[in-house]
Amino acid sequence: MGTEARLVTVALEVADLDRSVALYREAFGLDLHVADHHGGEHGSDDRWTSGRHAATSWTAGAYLHFALCEAKESPTSGAQIALRVDDLDAAHRRAMAAGAEIVHGPRREPWGTSARYRDLDGNVVELTQPPPS
């Protein structure tokens, strides 16, 4: 009996890793750690498993790994990710103070209160505070 497929990794290629890491840390509160696998475990130049990148993983509940990878071709653009926050007003102030480009400010949605921002490569980062239980 097989298991259902489930998302475990999201990786975005970025044009400027250092600037992107600063934005994702300062504006969106992600605890990204920069590393370089120098060709990966098997000496490969696979852009997804080698090279300079910054990553974080969530292990509480379902595991999810998020990475920003230094683009070896063209950066990812037009993708959207969403992050859950406990206090959207505070998260929105932090994003504005960090210079995130606002797509729309906090507003009520069926899934909670959300705001959206554009990163340096044209991807959208949504911050959502779930509705009270």
Residue 37 has pLDDT above 80, yes or no: no
Across the range 16-43, mean pLDDT stands at: 86
Neighbouring CB atoms inside 10 A of 129's CB total 20
Closest CA to 84 of 55, 65, 112: 112
The backbone region for 3, taken as left when phi is positive above 0, alpha when psi lies in -120 to 50, beta otherwise, is beta
- Place 4 in a pLDDT band, splitting at 50, 70 and 90: confident
This model's pTM is above 0.85: yes
Give the pLDDT score at 49.
Answer: 65
91 within a domain of the structure (yes/no): yes
4 within a domain of the structure (yes/no): no
1 within a domain of the structure (yes/no): no
pLDDT tens readout for residues 97-118: 999 999 999 999 999 999 999 9
Domain count, the chain: 1
CATH of residue 60's domain is 3.10.180.10
CA 128 to chain centre: 13
Residue 59 has pLDDT above 70, yes or no: yes
53 within a domain of the structure (yes/no): yes
Q: Which domain holds residue 34?
A: 9-129
